Amino acid sequence: MNQVSLGLTTAGAALMMISLVIGEFATGGWTNYPPYTGAVFSPGVGPDYWIWSVVIAGIGSLMSGINFCVTIYKCRAPGMTLMRMPLFVWTTLCSAIMLVYAMPPITVSSLMLALDRVLGFHFFTNDLGGNMMNYANIFWMFGHPEVYILVLPAYGIWSEIASTFSSKRLYGYSSLVLATMAIAVIAFTVWLHHFFTMGQSASVNIAFGIATMVIAVPTGVKVYDWMATLWRGRIRMTVPMVYMTGFFILFTVGGLTGVILANPSVDYQVHNSVFLVAHFHNVLIPGVLYGVLAGIHYWFPKVFGFRLDERTGRLTAWLWVIGFSLTFLPLYVLGLQGMPRRLPSFTEAAYGPWVTIAGFGALVILLALTMLFVTLWVSIRQRGQLSVPLGDPWDGRTLEWSIPSPAPAWNFATIPVVRDRDDFVARKGAGQAYEAPARYEDIEMPRPTYLGLTLCLAMTVMGFAIVWHIWWLALVSFVIVPASLIYRAFLPESEVEAVVPAAVVAAEDRAWRKAIAEARGVTRDEEDSPANCGLAAPEGEPA
C-alpha cells in the first residue's frame, strides 16, 4: 500500500512534468478557480492537466493517510502507549487523520470541475444555476487543512531535533500533543479566511477570522515548549540546529502576519497583494522546507549509513536563512505599498528598491540550492570517513538509534519492549542499551512487487489520455488497475510474503553487537569528527 501511494503520487508529478513538454500546465492559477477554468474561458488543456495530477496524486495521499493512521493505531511495539510515542509520530498521526478527511473534498471538487469541462455539467458555471462559490468552499475545505498537513510533520521533526541536540527530555510533551490535536481540529474550521473578500456577510467573516486567530494559540504553545527544551540544554550547533534557529525567528514572523491577515478588515486591504505572498512563503519555507532539510540531515545517517558533511551543510543552512529573509521580507513592505500579486511588470517607483533586494535574495536562494547538492556530493565522496554503521551518531534518544545504520530490512532484530518515552536514553542510562536478545525468531516480510510501478504507469497514461480526450487509451489503462489488484488477490500467500530465517537475522545482529563491543564511544564534542562511528559515550543529561 505504501508503494502504491508513492506510485500514484509519482504519477501525478509525472503528469505535471509531461505538461511542461506537451501542451500547457495549470493556466488557471494554483487554485484552478472556475468559472475562469471552465470550458468557456479556458478551452486549452492547462486546467485538465491540473485536475488529473491533483486527483491521481490525491488518491495516493489519501492512501498514505489511511496507511499511517492504521500503522500508528494498530501496529505499535509492546509498551509503546500513545503517550510514549515520539512527538514526530504524534504529528504524523494528526497529519494522517487530516489527510483522510481533507483529501476527498479536493478530489471531488476537481472531478466536478472535470465534469463541467468535459460533459457540460453546471456545478460551477456562470449559467444554468452553477455556483462557483461551491468550488471555493470545497477547495479550501481541503486547502487550509492542507497547510497544516504540511507543517505538522515538520513540527514533529523540530521536536525530535530540539531534544536530541540539547540532550534533554522534550519540555511539555503533553502540551505539545494537545496542541497538535487542537491544531488538527481547528484547521478544519477556518477555510473561509481564504476568501473573506468574496461577498459573504460581515458576521460570517468575523466567525472565521476569530477561529483563525485561535490557531495561533496552540502554535505559540509549541514555540515556547521548544525554547524551554533548549533552555540549559547541552546544545550542539549542528546543521539541523542552524535551521531551527532560522525557523524560530522567521516562522514566528510568518505566524504573526497570518494573525494580521485573519482580521477581515485588514485582509480587505492586503488580500492578493504580495503581503499574502510573503506570508505563505514565510510559513512554508522556514516552517516546512527548513524542517524537511533539518530532518534529512538528522535521519540521513540512519537511512544511508553515513552522516552529511557538517561544514558545507552549515553554510547551506545559513544561505537558506539569509536568502529567504532577503527575498521575502521585502514583500511585506511591497504588499503594504499596494503591490498586487502575479504582477508581470510595474511603473511605480517606490517598489524599485525593495524589488531589487528581493531579486538579489533570490540569487542567494539559488546559491543555497546549489550548495545543497554540493553538500550531498561532498558527503558521498567522503562517505568512508562519515560512516556510522553502529547506528547512533547523535547520542539519540528514541529507539530508531538503537539499531544499525543503514537499518536492516527488518528494522528490529527482535521487537523491543518500550518502557519510557525516551526509551533509548533510559537503556543507555541503565547500561542496557545493547543487551543481546535471548533468542531470535523468523521474521515475515512482504515480497518485492511490481504493483506500485504498474499502477503508477497505468495512472500516468490514463491521466494523459483523459487530458487529450483519447478515450480508448484512458479506458485500457484504467482497466489495468482493478485487473492487477484482482490478479494479486488470487496469488497464493507464499508469493506475497517471504520469511527471513532466524539464523540470518541472528548472524547479522551478532556481528553488529560484536563491533559495538569493540568500538570506542564518542563524546558529544566529537560528534562532528571522523571518530564518530555511531556509538555514543555515556555522558548523562545536563543538570
Partner 1 sequence: MIHRLYPGLNLGPAHGDDHAEAEPVIFGFWVFLMSDLITFGILFATYATSATTMGRAGGPGPAELFNLGSVALQTGALLASSLTCGLAALAVKHRLGSGTAVGWLIATMLLGTMFLGLELRDFHQMIGAGATPDRSAWLSSYFALVGLHGLHISAGLIWAAVMIGLLHRQPEEGRTKQRLLMFGLYWHFLDLIWIGILSVVFLAGLA
Scanning residues 329 to 368, which ones bind ligand HEM (CB under 6 A)? none
Give ∠ CA 20-26-32 in degrees, rounded to 5.
165
CA distances from 59 to 8, 64, 133, 140, 541 (A): 7, 9, 24, 18, 45
Provide, rounded to whole angstroms, the least separation between the CB of residue 147 and Cu ion. Answer: 6
Instruction: State which residue, 109 or 316, has the beta carbon closest to partner 1.
Output: 109
Peptide linkage before 344 cis (omega within 30 of 0): no
**Euclidean distance between the first and the last CA atom of the chain, given in angstroms as a whole number:** 46
Which position among 25, 101, 121, 280 is part of the footprint of ligand HEM (CB under 6 A)? 280
Residue type, 8: L
Scanning residues 26 to 65, which ones bind partner 1 (CB under 8 A)? 62, 65
75 binds partner 1 (CB under 8 A): yes
Instruction: State which residue, 4 or 358, has the beta carbon closest to partner 1.
Output: 4
For residues 41 and 72, is the Cβ–Cβ distance under 8 A?
no
259 binds ligand HEM (CB under 6 A): yes
The total number of residues shown for the chain amounts to 543
Q: Give the three-state DSSP class for 254.
A: helix
Scanning residues 441 to 470, which ones bind ligand HEM (CB under 6 A)? none
Specify the stretch interacting with partner 1 by CB under 8 A; choose among 72-80, 152-160, 283-291, 348-356.
72-80
- From ligand HEM, Cu ion, partner 1, none, interface partner of 37 (C-beta below 5 to 8 A by class): none
Instruction: State which residue, 227 or 430, has the beta carbon closest to ligand HEM.
Output: 227
**C-alpha cell recorded at residue 209:** 477570522
Instruction: State which residue, 218 or 233, has the beta carbon closest to ligand HEM.
Output: 218
Which position among 211, 288, 339, 364 is part of the footprint of ligand HEM (CB under 6 A)? 288
**x/- binding map, residues 115-144, to Cu ion, per CB under 5 A?**
-----------------------------x
| Phi-psi category of residue 444: left, alpha or beta, with phi > 0 → left and psi -120 to 50 → alpha | beta
**What CA–CA distance (Å, rounded) separates 67 from 73?**
10
For residues 184 and 117, is the Cβ–Cβ distance under 8 A?
no
- From Cu ion, partner 1, ligand HEM, none, interface partner of 131 (C-beta below 5 to 8 A by class): partner 1
Which position among 51, 103, 250, 283 is part of the footprint of ligand HEM (CB under 6 A)? 283
**x/- binding map, residues 134-173, to ligand HEM, per CB under 6 A?**
-------------x--xx----------------------
**What CA–CA distance (Å, rounded) separates 113 from 48?**
9
Buried b (16+ CB within 10 A) or exposed e, 458-497: bbbbbbbbbbeeeeeebeebbebeeebeeeeeeeeeeeee
- From Cu ion, ligand HEM, partner 1, none, interface partner of 36 (C-beta below 5 to 8 A by class): none
Residue type, 170: L
**What CA–CA distance (Å, rounded) separates 23 from 10?**
19
Specify the stretch interacting with ligand HEM by CB under 6 A; choose among 91-99, 279-287, 316-324, 395-403.
279-287
What's the Rg (C-alpha) of the chain?
A: 25
Residue whose C-alpha cell is 488470487? 490
Determine the size of the site formed for Cu ion (CB under 5 A). 1
CA distances from 491 to 246, 397, 484 (A): 52, 42, 11
**What CA–CA distance (Å, rounded) separates 307 from 435?**
25
Instruction: State which residue, 54 or 262, has the beta carbon closest to partner 1.
Output: 54
Provide the binding-site residues for Cu ion, judged by CB under 5 A: 144
Provide the binding-site residues for partner 1, judged by CB under 8 A: 62, 65-67, 69-71, 73-75, 78, 100-101, 103-105, 107-109, 112, 115-116, 119-123, 125, 127-131, 134, 138, 141, 482, 486, 489-490, 492-493
Provide the binding-site residues for ligand HEM, judged by CB under 6 A: 147, 150-151, 193-194, 212, 215-216, 219, 255, 258-259, 261-262, 267, 271, 276, 279-280, 283-284, 287-288
